Amino acid sequence: MFILKTWRSVAFGIYGFKNFTKSGFLEHSKNFKAEDMQAQIEGKNCIVTGANSGIGFATAEGLASRGATVFMVCRNKEKGETALSQIRAATGNENVHLEICDISLTSDVKSFASRFSSKGLPVHILVNNAGLLENDRQTTSEGYEMNFAVNVLGTYAMTELMLPLLEKAAPDARVITVSSGGMYTAPLTEDLEFSGNKFNGVEQYARNKRVQVALTEKWAEMYKDKGVGFYSMHPGWAETPGVAKSLPGFSKSLEGKLRSKEEGADTVIWLALQPKEKLISGGFYFDRAEAPKHLALAGTNGSHASYIHSIAANLRALLSRL
């Protein structure tokens, strides 16, 4: 097990340094097609979680600049209002709105879903961007480990509760979940809240992000007849407030080599704009192309089939309980 974990870390580091940095983006962008990003999406309703900074902010701004009606879901009202004003000023789009919701609390997500449903609006695009990496174990007021509560349970609850509104926008509705390349270092596991004695926030984050990719596959399978596409992606190594706070050593060591938040958000916006026939529901995307979900010889391949059904059942039970 030690040798396998070491190999995953080494392989991830080499693969990531080549592909996930700013230079990787610039190299991959040579194959980008400008026309892919020129679509206007007036009249489409988009929800972006964690939209007040980083990749969420860049995503909300990118969608607003293309005419979408954007609902920014943020935990902090003051930061959300500042971001809202900035996006409206930069895009000239007044159809950008702020919704306050703490994704770490399922009760809050349920309350948001109820409020939003009362608007009677279809949801064309849901971007599950809100994420968290806490290095020390913390527990929410509902009793869940904090990273899991935001990255997994919050993402699951938001997607499931928005599904009726996504169906209203079928056949063009889509869910885009922002995962992380860090998931390459972790197989899927049923130990969702990291029950081991020595908590490791970075490893827990990687596990959470692996769950997001597997859940995307599961949703694509379960809801294939509902006219909703499900896609996961990862932004590469981007310079964001979250990275600086949670991984200061990593951020400092790669100073000047990290992607901008706009480069990190590029594939999210690309997924939002493409005709669905160009995309594969359940797919994992990076730099505007489908990407592998596992690194060679990393021993993570079989974990999805082994655990995703029980994980989805457990999450469904947690959601119904709260």
Question: Which sequence positions are flagged as catalytic?
Answer: 205
Please state, in angstroms and as integers, the Cα–Cα distance from residue 303 to each residue in 151, 188, 223, following that order: 19, 5, 22
- The gap between the terminal CA atoms of the chain, to the nearest Å, is 36
Among all chains, which residue has been given the structure tokens 């998931």? 183
The pairing of beta strand 284-286 with beta strand 289-290: antiparallel
Angle CA 213–170–176, to nearest 5:
25
> Which of 264, 177, 287, 289 minimizes the C-alpha distance to 228?
177
Peptide bond into 171 cis (omega under 30): yes
What phi, psi does 234 have (nearest 5°)?
A: -135, 145
User: What is the SS3 assignment for 27?
Assistant: helix
> Which of 226, 104, 94 minimizes the C-alpha distance to 163?
226
What residue type is 152 in one-letter code? Answer: V
Cα dihedral 196, 49, 293, 223 sign? positive
CB atoms within 10 A of CB 98: 18
> Which of 13, 18, 16, 23 minimizes the C-alpha distance to 256?
23
